[in-house]
Amino acid sequence: MVRADRVTPHMARITLGGPALVGFVNGGLDQRIKLLLPLPGQTEPVAPEGEEEFGWYQSWRAMDPAVRPVLRTYTVRAQRHDPDEVDIDIAVHGDHGPGSRWAMTAAPGDRVIVCGPAIEEAGGVEFRLPDGADWVLLAGDESTLPAVAAILDELPPGLPVKVFAEVEGPREHAYLPAGRPGTEITWLHRGAPGVPALPEAVRAAALPDGAPYAWIAGEAATVRELRRHLVGERCYDRRAVCFMGYWRLGRTEDQRAEEPVEADAD
């Protein structure tokens, strides 16, 4: 079951609840889960079959597109017990996609399917702070803000952090905690005159000395460019750069169902 609130003008908080969440295990930090959303006209998504690990995904791929539910990946922002609830924050930009559209219209009682971990260390957490890291770099767009916020919640107190966030405008600034000691947030407003895009801003920045740990996510091409800069131009150890393409311009997760199976490993 679902309820929805607006956190910022472009971020909706969806709270999921119900007895099926009793066994849900949140790994914290950038823990990701899959949501299966109903198609227009459906009261709830059609559940794929498959009981083996990831068997549901292969079943989902094979479903008739006329009934196959929308698949989207999101970060867990918070989990609570008694009652069992999970918060998912979703960037919304009007009627520009089924995920955004669903988040804007979600109402109490709506039903979705959650595919997430039921045991510790089951996957979905990529941020792994190594021993000896002197500071942390976090970089991404709106789609990464829930993960950035969750990471900031759990980092050791006082560990220096540099955040670069590319968003629509200043109304999105309230989403990230501003009072964490040692955290410097650089906000980049997309399309504003004189404001560099995310890769250019990181490339021009004076970053701290010492052993870094970088976490970069967002649009896949932007992530690749940032990783090349950090590993190639700044000579960061590859193992110290965690990178994920959360989305790809012009391509949705649903389109992957029509691609050869080996394409899912890219």
User: Is the Cα dihedral 168, 200, 151, 252 positive or negative?
Assistant: positive
Residues 132, 144: Cα–Cα separation, whole Å? 25
Could you give the CA distance from residue 212 to residue 83 in angstroms, rounded to a whole number?
Answer: 39
pLDDT tens digits for range 130-184? 999 999 999 999 999 999 999 999 999 999 999 999 999 999 999 998 889 999 9
* Rounded mean pLDDT for each run of 10 residues along the chain, 266 residues in total: 85 94 94 94 88 79 94 95 95 81 90 91 92 97 96 95 96 90 96 92 97 97 97 98 91 61 36
Q: Determine contact, residues 187/167, Cβ cutoff 8 Å.
A: yes
What pLDDT, on the 0 to 100 scale, is given for residue 265? 31
Q: Which pair of structure tokens corresponds to residue 214?
A: 């970088």
How many residues are given for the chain? Answer: 266
- What is residue 259's predicted lDDT score, i.e. its pLDDT? 55
pLDDT number for residue 263? 37
Ramachandran bin of 132, using left for φ above 0, alpha for ψ from -120 to 50, beta for the remaining angles: left
Contact 120, 26 (CB under 8 A): no
pTM across the whole model: 0.90
- Tokens (6 digits) for 31: 């823990």
